[in-house]
Structure 1
């Protein structure tokens, strides 16, 4: 028995921003396994969608018409995942769905979002924020990240990697990364070589001191430069790379959990299972059953 095909409805509100509309239409529309449609005045598609995407639109301080807000609320109430790109967050906020929830939007509109919707927990300078079945993202580029996040959640790391290659984007930018960097990085702050070294040595014992020494920087200077470049602490970044590598191995190999744990730097299978459940929300074995290409349902 094959898995059900998730249906995706992209709601093009009046004055929709064309780029914000085209991003989910392309990234999700070309992904095998999604049934994607675009809705305008006819909101029938929202009534059956598993995922509803709201692209950004002009003048977000003006709430959309009631029929749109009602359709979004009804979709959420029956269990659809809700995704907002850029100012699309304002439409979700206008329904009240974001009250008391974590969210973000394009940095230019953060103050307006706070002022108009004070009950929303607004996060600054984040690519995207996920709170349960609500996913909000920043400007257009972050919309790609949000779409790849959906693909990674539904179809695995390999599928997200292929989709990322198609749009020439990183397939695994963490939502906590900043939308922008407000200072210029010093010349010596280019740490891409050390990140490449980490990817080739994920199974090794890696510490901040090891990374700083290999980068010929003091510990505090290294941490500051690394966070400036990636938006993440060094060890958080390393852990996320280990999780992504482990997910890829679970999807594409028949290696045992213990072998994957050793190869990706988690040490024991027990530690790997604990961290994997915390970060991914399921066990390695359950993840493999759902995402292995040999899985039939």
Structure 2
């Protein structure tokens, strides 16, 4: 049979008064220590004894002593109460300065775009914070997974989250390697993709994402085919560099490969814009200093183009 170990309401009432009287063996000194009246201390002790069902003190006109029950209660209650005070101090400290374990859920695609250049500088700037980054393409439940926050592209952030912009918006760019483009004609229109090997992304819900484009004032989706399906953008980018086919990836992820000539940007007039990368977390009355420190550091060192709480355009719960 399962036992109920929940502490009864008010079970700790009077314990601090008892410990003070037991240390001083004096009601007046205990009252002075706790900044209350002697009568308030006496009432607290009487209430505690009634709740426990045993006398804790032997009182005379000249002295105060502990009963056997009081001695045993004192021996067990003092270290437990001291632990509660210590726990309160630790919690208070974490609410006042950047410290403790900061757990973030981050998709692999965001690592090279945003975090890799900043992790070392953040850890050096805040030595009291332990930073744990769990790289996963899954849209995890932050509370169930024990995460302080997550980072996702804006279109994958649920509408009920507090979203903080970390990067400006950026385009999703189609890229291909020179070797691949030597074999096939460069696509000039969206329809031209039918004759190309296109590397595709599988979403966390199991579906394969179509490629999205901007055609005038509307967004169109293209159903493409190709030899590779991956669960993250870096794998698609690597496949494109190796000449397996074309890939549609966030422009910041492909920027270095385009600059050094390993990839060529294609169909740029039709590139659709992603809202950018956002840090997100459940609504709370207060953001802990460790999380606030991370947000401020990424903005400051990463040069993000926005600040404050924002809702990413087109955000939704499913990727």
Q: What is the TM-score with the length of structure 2 in the denominator?
A: 0.24
Structure whose residues are more often helix by fraction: 1
Structure whose residues are more often strand by fraction: 2
Q: Which one has the largest radius of gyration? A: 2
Q: What is the TM-score with the length of structure 1 in the denominator?
A: 0.25
Q: Which has the higher contact order (CA 8 A, sep 6+)?
A: 2
